[in-house]
Structure 1
């Protein structure tokens, strides 16, 4: 199945655009103890993942000096952390221009969704064979947690719990390569997903689809489990149509 084969309802009419302020990174001073580089890396990564970078078309830049002041450290651990983040594809360092927070293009996101569908579909097939009944019950608990957060109407928390469900499913496949590749994909799709979930009914549909996926795995129905996961992953294309106006 490809993205073009899916029949999605028409995206709702767009409302009058609202001018949004460029997001700022929110970090707290680093406390002494463990490696500064590790702490700075963890802090910056967490803050970047929380930033809303898909609601506008402007680039988001980070300035070394400001980050050093906010974190209460020298520039050295900032630069070391930026190097690690650049290797993960979260930022891009530009000489004399600072650090740019990376935003995926429309093509990159669509390609990532296709890869997600293929990899997690295979993971679901493997789960039907290798996951124990107790592990599948644990996956159901993750699905239930998503449902609870959906009712509490907290898009960012739901988005994080949603990724927890998918990561857990991938790990149950017992295939570390699939799980690792999916984890990297989720890292780059998280920001767009959080924004989209706050504006569409996708979260409600997602909760229902999670339940069906777990049921298929529990029934050891390889074909149905794979098909449900593929449809679920490719369904995010609808979110891009609704809220991805700024994507190139």
Structure 2
């Protein structure tokens, strides 16, 4: 994989700050202050903020500092609805088109996640979960689908991370991932689609619960909490 540019590295750090709640919804993302804190110039910081704006994590404002986005439940639910369809289609196509090496890569990510789950930070587990889903979509070998999925997934990073704080679901997540991998290995599209649908159905349930409670801050972090 190509090495990340400086703006991409900065965007990754800001994204993690948003997911953790260090930069809360509605908070200003001050270009000068963040650049000084990270020891970088304002030019790559500005580009990093543009990357996050394309992902929907940050809202740009004319002549004012951008702010961290706070989408409504309806907006999040609409994106989850589209994401579910895209991932089920990706699973079906992967059963037809994936190279054996691509399925091996997906299985390897799942094995790594299962072995590290109880020993690494919650955000690291979450990022492994996102890597797992992106690998499935890549295995569909459809560039348009890959691009569309990545765009929708980017808008849901914070919602997915917040859903992981709602409840412990370690065993369910790992079981569903295993079902997906075994379905891909068997080239069984119905099994893969069923497992993906169940997996993403829990995401919507967790997000709905989060909005119903009306939380605005992340709960205390635990390194052993799951990704959703």
Match of 1:103, SS? coil
| Aligned equivalent of 2:124, options 157, 160, 163 | 157
**Where do residues 44-193 of structure 1 align in structure 2 (5 Å cutoff)?**
44-52=10-18, 59-152=26-119, 154-193=121-160
Match of 2:60, SS? strand
The answer on whether the counterparts of 2:35 and 2:45 sit within 8 Å (CA) in structure 1 is yes
Report the Cα offset of residue 46 of structure 1: 1.1
Q: Within 2, Cα distance between the matches of 1:132 and 1:109?
A: 33
The answer on whether the counterparts of 1:125 and 1:226 sit within 8 Å (CA) in structure 2 is yes
Q: Within 1, Cα distance between the matches of 2:187 and 2:25?
A: 47
**Where do residues 228-239 of structure 1 align in structure 2 (5 Å cutoff)?**
228-239=195-206
TM-score (norm 2): 0.79
The answer on whether the counterparts of 2:73 and 2:208 sit within 8 Å (CA) in structure 1 is no
Q: Gapped runs of 5+ residues in structure 2?
A: 217-228
Report the Cα offset of residue 97 of structure 1: 3.7
Report the Cα offset of residue 148 of structure 1: 1.9
| Aligned equivalent of 2:8, options 32, 42, 49 | 42
Report the Cα offset of residue 173 of structure 1: 0.7
Match of 1:98, SS? strand
TM-score (norm 1): 0.73
* Gap change, CA 1:69 and 1:175, over 3 Å in 2: same
Give the aligned CA root-mean-square deviation in angstroms: 2.9
Greater CA deviation, 168-177 or 182-191? 182-191
Report the Cα offset of residue 86 of structure 1: 2.7
Higher helix share: 2
The answer on whether the counterparts of 2:11 and 2:51 sit within 8 Å (CA) in structure 1 is no
Report the Cα offset of residue 161 of structure 1: 0.4
**Where do residues 217-236 of structure 1 align in structure 2 (5 Å cutoff)?**
217-236=184-203
Greater CA deviation, 187-196 or 123-132? 187-196
Report the Cα offset of residue 109 of structure 1: 1.2
Match of 1:224, SS? helix
Q: Indicate the residue corresponding to 1:243 in structure 2.
A: 210
Q: Indicate the residue corresponding to 1:24 in structure 2.
A: none
Greater CA deviation, 158-167 or 51-60? 51-60
Report the Cα offset of residue 126 of structure 1: 0.9
Tell me the alpha carbon deviations over residues 22-60 of structure 1, each in whole angstroms, 9 at most, x when there is no partner: xxxxxxxxxxxxxxxx52x22431122112458698512
The answer on whether the counterparts of 2:126 and 2:161 sit within 8 Å (CA) in structure 1 is yes
The answer on whether the counterparts of 1:159 and 1:190 sit within 8 Å (CA) in structure 2 is no
Report the Cα offset of residue 225 of structure 1: 1.6
Q: Gapped runs of 5+ residues in structure 1?
A: 1-37
Match of 2:117, SS? helix
Q: Indicate the residue corresponding to 1:26 in structure 2.
A: none
Report the Cα offset of residue 73 of structure 1: 4.9
* Gap change, CA 1:198 and 1:247, over 3 Å in 2: closer
* Gap change, CA 1:71 and 1:157, over 3 Å in 2: closer
